[in-house]
């Protein structure tokens, strides 16, 4: 019978997890600290590890690093389970080789699925080298969609694989690109960004590849171009879907061979990691004949799709509070009716629109408390029909409204599967069932 090492400094949680693991047919082995876990892992050689993040002697990331440094630990599936999930510790855990990063509490069905996957995955994996901690988080959000993005960033950050980021305008594609660079192996190198849609086609080639002096009329100085400027680092090509076909052919060679030819010059080899982004449907543009199919496949090595803000309601309020704290000192606060207004608006301009709205409020609102009247510029006609409750809204109403939207979204994304929806929301399945009935969403719930 396969053993599972359970590491948690809280005895009640540790004992409860052991009981559930035993009921699922595994042999639980408990450790109350990081040091105890390392000693047990050395002698007992468990088949999987469930690891708490915050512990008094060593935190979970340090334990994860120590386990990965051992011969047996390189292939050991290790899942971080924490009540304190953030973008930073999610990304770092995945970069250090965690199998998964989950939030407490975790239900029986979810634990059974996790352990089954971990046991199937007992195969050698690449050990990722940790980078120094960075206090600045480039990504805010705990929705299922954003956590998937954070995990993908952790897995690809240290590789040189080309990444294609897709999503509506304003969803934060450049923020994701900068985060990949900042937390990855090329962090010490340059990060160069170029908006391909903002430069006329006749100038784009020179911007990309550079030119030699005298290559054309007006070329009085040599220009290196962003490919060579990004040498040793990362090049972010934004809105690549708007590039003309002639330039696409030249980009293809650079992506494929890592060789660029300055206008009027000779081919030069470059060492650069390429991240591209677009708000367009590139597959559709390939079918229309305006985007090269071979270039699409070269770019789409690791796809990252950013959901629009209206589809990740859980992130709206944390983002608004983050932007408000950044824009004001001391930070202003949101009244309950302002929370309802923010959470009830559909944000067609996504995160960019939310940030701009918060910065506007920070400047225009003279009070320490932001109310719904300060957000009156958000047009009710652009909302999603579940708009804020105005000045009479209470904090309870605002929270209930956000909770209902999150449950609806989780049930839709999981196709009515209760266990999956509860896992996405980080709550027990029975609690989800109770809340779904409360909000009249029971018919969406088609069981497991």
Query: What's the pLDDT score for residue 435?
Result: 81
Question: What is the third-level CATH fold of 159-306?
Answer: Rossmann fold (3.40.50)
Tell me the pLDDT band of 391, cut-offs 50, 70 and 90: very low
Lowest mean pLDDT among 93-107, 248-262, 390-404: 390-404
Single out the residue of 296, 298, 347 nearest to residue 320, CA to CA.
347
- pLDDT at residue 121, rounded to an integer: 64
Q: What percent of the chain has pLDDT over 70?
A: 88
- Contacts of the segment 199-207: beta carbons below 8 A, 24+ positions apart: 201/244, 201/246, 201/247, 204/243, 204/244, 204/247, 205/247, 205/250, 205/263, 206/263
CA 77, CA 141: separation in Å to the nearest integer?
26
Taking CA atoms, 7 is separated from 130, 427, 446, in Å, by 21, 21, 35
Better pLDDT: 43 or 153: 153
Q: What is the pLDDT of residue 384?
A: 47
**pLDDT higher at 166 or 76:** 166
Q: Confidence class of residue 395 from pLDDT cuts 50, 70 and 90?
A: low
Instruction: Assign 201 a pLDDT band (cuts: 50, 70, 90).
Output: confident
pLDDT of residue 393: 46
Q: Looking at the predicted structure, is the pLDDT value of residue 213 above 70? A: yes
pLDDT tens, residue by residue, 117-137: 887 766 443 332 223 333 344
- pLDDT, tens only, 326-385: 888 777 888 888 888 898 898 999 999 999 999 999 888 877 888 888 898 886 434 444
pLDDT digits 0-9 by tens, 8-45: 998 988 899 999 999 999 999 999 998 998 999 888 88
Q: For residue 127, what pLDDT is reported?
A: 30
The answer to whether residue 392 scores a pLDDT higher than 50 is no
**Stretch(es) of the chain classified as CATH 1.10.8.60:** 310-413
pLDDT at position 447 is: 45
Model-level pTM greater than 0.75?
A: no
pLDDT at res. 386 = 46
Mean pLDDT of 264-276: 91
**What was the pLDDT predicted at 397?**
62
Considering the chain, tell me which residue range(s) the CATH 3.40.50.300 domain(s) occupy. Answer: 159-306
Q: Does domain 310-413 have CATH number 1.10.8.60?
A: yes
Grouping H, G, I as helix, E, B as strand and the rest as coil, residue 153 is helix
Residues 300-316, mean pLDDT to the nearest whole number: 92
- Residue 133 carries which DSSP code? -
Pairing outcome for strands 3-7 and 27-31: parallel
In the CATH scheme, what is the code of domain 3-120? 3.40.50.2300
Question: CB–CB of 337/375 below 8 Å?
Answer: no
Q: Where in the chain is the domain with CATH 3.40.50.2300?
A: 3-120
pLDDT digits (tens, 9 = 90+) for 46-68: 889 999 998 888 888 999 999 88
- Contact indicator for 426, 87 with CB cutoff of 8 Å: no
Q: Is the dihedral of CA 186, 191, 197, 200 positive or negative?
A: negative
Confidence check: pLDDT of 190 > 70: yes
Mean pLDDT computed over every residue of the chain: 84
């Amino acid at each position: 019978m396969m053993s599972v090492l359970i590491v948690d400094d809280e005895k009640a949680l540790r004992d409860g997890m052991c009981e559930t693991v035993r009921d699922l047919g595994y042999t639980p082995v408990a450790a109350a600290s990081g040091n105890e876990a390392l000693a047990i892992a050395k002698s007992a050689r468990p088949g999987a590890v469930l690891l708490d993040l915050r512990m008094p002697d060593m935190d979970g990331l340090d334990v994860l690093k120590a386990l990965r440094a051992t011969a047996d630990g390189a292939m050991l599936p290790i899942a971080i389970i924490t009540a304190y999930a953030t973008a930073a510790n999610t990304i770092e855990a995945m970069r250090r080789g965690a199998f998964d990063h989950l939030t407490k509490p975790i239900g029986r069905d979810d634990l059974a699925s996790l352990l089954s996957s971990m046991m199937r995955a007992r195969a050698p994996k690449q050990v990722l080298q940790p980078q120094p901690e960075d206090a600045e988080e480039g990504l805010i959000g705990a929705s299922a969609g954003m956590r998937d993005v954070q995990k993908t960033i952790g897995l690809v950050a240290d590789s040189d694989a080309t990444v294609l980021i897709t999503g509506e305008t304003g969803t934060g594609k450049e923020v994701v690109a900068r985060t990949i660079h900042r937390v990855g192996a090329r962090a010490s190198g340059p990060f160069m960004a170029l908006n391909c849609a903002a430069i006329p086609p006749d100038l784009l080639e020179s911007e990309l590849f550079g030119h030699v002096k005298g290559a054309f009329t007006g070329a009085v100085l040599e220009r290196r171009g962003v490919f060579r400027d990004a040498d040793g680092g990362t090049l972010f090509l934004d809105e690549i879907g708007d590039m003309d076909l002639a330039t696409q052919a030249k980009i293809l060679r650079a992506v494929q061979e890592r060789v660029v030819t300055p206008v009027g010059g000779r081919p030069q080899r470059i060492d650069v990691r390429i991240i591209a982004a677009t708000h367009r449907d590139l597959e559709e543009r390939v079918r229309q004949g305006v985007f090269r199919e071979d270039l699409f496949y070269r770019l789409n090595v690791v796809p990252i799709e950013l959901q629009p803000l209206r589809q990740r309601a859980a992130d709206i309020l944390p983002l608004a509070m983050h932007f408000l704290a950044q824009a004001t000192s001391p930070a202003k606060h949101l009244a309950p009716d302002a929370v309802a207004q923010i959470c009830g608006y559909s944000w067609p301009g996504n995160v960019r629109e939310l940030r701009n709205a918060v910065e506007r409020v920070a400047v225009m609102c003279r009070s320490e408390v932001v109310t719904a009247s300060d957000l009156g510029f958000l047009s009710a006609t652009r909302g999603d029909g579940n708009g804020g409750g105005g000045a009479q809204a209470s904090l309870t109403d605002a929270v209930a409204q956000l909770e209902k939207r999150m449950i609806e979204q989780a049930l839709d994304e999981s196709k009515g599967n209760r266990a999956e929806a509860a896992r996405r929301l980080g709550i027990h399945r029975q609690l989800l069932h109770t809340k779904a009935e409360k909000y009249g969403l029971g018919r969406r719930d088609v069981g497991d």
